[in-house]
Structure 1
Amino acid sequence: MGEVLKAVKERRSIRSFLKKEIPDDIIKKLIEALIWAPSAGNLQARKFYFVKNKDTKGKLAQAALYQTFIADAPLVIVGCIDKNKIFPRYGQRGVQLYAIQDVATSITNAMLVAHENGLGSCWVGAFREEEVSKILALPKHLRAVVILPVGYPAYVPLAPPRVSINEAVEFVE
């Protein structure tokens, strides 16, 4: 099995973190993973907030429907779309779909690089958007679409079941 597929299969959603800081060299790798992801028209209509401040992480956890594990992570990445970069070229479809796909691809890259470096993460999409915008003082052209707590796992769950290949894939020949 290739290294990338191995990482894809081994990665888990981590909701329990050790109280251990992430070294700067690994943070730089996470940043590279984010910015090297593909994007619609190579517009890179995305921005990422790296949150280490304890109070801010606590507020984000509350805004995320009280998912307290977010506050326990040493790093929380908030992925945002940039409407100003995508709209002129792709209109509403760009804002409502392409830019979100771009952030999703970036976050997936970051999750795999985190795993490769012994870190865990958990995709969080359940949060009150307006509250997150206020907490981070986001300008109007940015929209938060994902919160990603990152840190060293205190616990790694077993793999959840997956649907069968026949259920997930339809070949059209």
Structure 2
Amino acid sequence: MECLEAIFSRRSVRKFLKKDVDDETVRKLLEAGNAAPSAGNLQARDFVVVRDDETKLKLAVASLRQMFIAQAPVVIVVVANYPRSMKVYGERGKIYAEQDAAAAVQNILLAAHCMGLASVWVGAYDDEVVSEILGIPSYARPAAILPVGYPAEAPEARRRFNIDELTHLERW
């Protein structure tokens, strides 16, 4: 799949087939995530891979009861690792770690799509509860929850603003 085709055809999918995603495929998704750009090449993001049904259910409940999370064969939680970036950039490193995580999320979403998988970027959840469930240390923060699986739906493209409405030349 061509790069632009992947960007324009990717959709957020919330229904998955009951078909496993093998470890090699998950590893490739993680490698794609870590290939994303990062401030100072510090790669201030970590990944928690969840396959356990009970843990996925807890994550779904902590995510405003978005139960489709529990239905995915695998869930990847992308975590912003603040100290990894702050050791070079000080307090500003927190923002960079979040940007590093966001770039990794987008790479994972696109890689999943190119590999015949589907996902959705979940950002609505209780940070503290998710951190407790997954044992994420207090110096890091979950940046996104990505349920991943083979799609059981093919959502239509959603409306986008015309790019002319969003573009400012030289100044806002």
* TM-score where L is the length of structure 1: 0.95
> Aligned residue for 2:116?
118
> Are 2:18 and 1:19 equivalent residues in the alignment?
yes
Paired residue secondary structure (2:147): strand
Distance 1:117 1:101 in 2: 24
* Letter of the structure 1 residue corresponding to residue 35 of structure 2: W
Q: CA deviation at 1:76?
A: 0.5
Q: Deviations over 1:104-159 (max 9, x none)?
A: 10110011010001111000000000000110011122211110111111111100
Distance 1:111 1:136 in 2: 21
Distance 1:28 1:134 in 2: 24
Distance 1:126 1:93 in 2: 24
> Aligned residue for 2:101?
103
Distance 2:149 2:135 in 1: 24
> Aligned residue for 2:5?
6
Paired residue secondary structure (1:77): strand
Q: CA deviation at 1:84?
A: 1.5
Alignment of 1:1-173 (within 5 A): 3-95=2-94, 97-172=95-170
Paired residue secondary structure (2:78): strand
Q: CA deviation at 1:26?
A: 1.6
Distance 1:168 1:24 in 2: 40
Report the number of matched residues: 171
* TM-score where L is the length of structure 2: 0.95
Paired residue secondary structure (1:104): helix
Q: CA deviation at 1:13?
A: 0.4
Identity %: 49
Q: CA deviation at 1:56?
A: 0.3
Q: CA deviation at 1:3?
A: 0.7
Instruction: Specify every segment of 5 or more residues in structure 2 that has no aligned partner in the other structure, as ranges.
Output: none
Distance 1:165 1:139 in 2: 40
What do you get for the CA RMSD once the two structures are aligned?
A: 1.3
Q: CA deviation at 1:171?
A: 2.4
Q: CA deviation at 1:83?
A: 1.6
Distance 2:163 2:2 in 1: 21
Instruction: Specify every segment of 5 or more residues in structure 1 that has no aligned partner in the other structure, as ranges.
Output: none
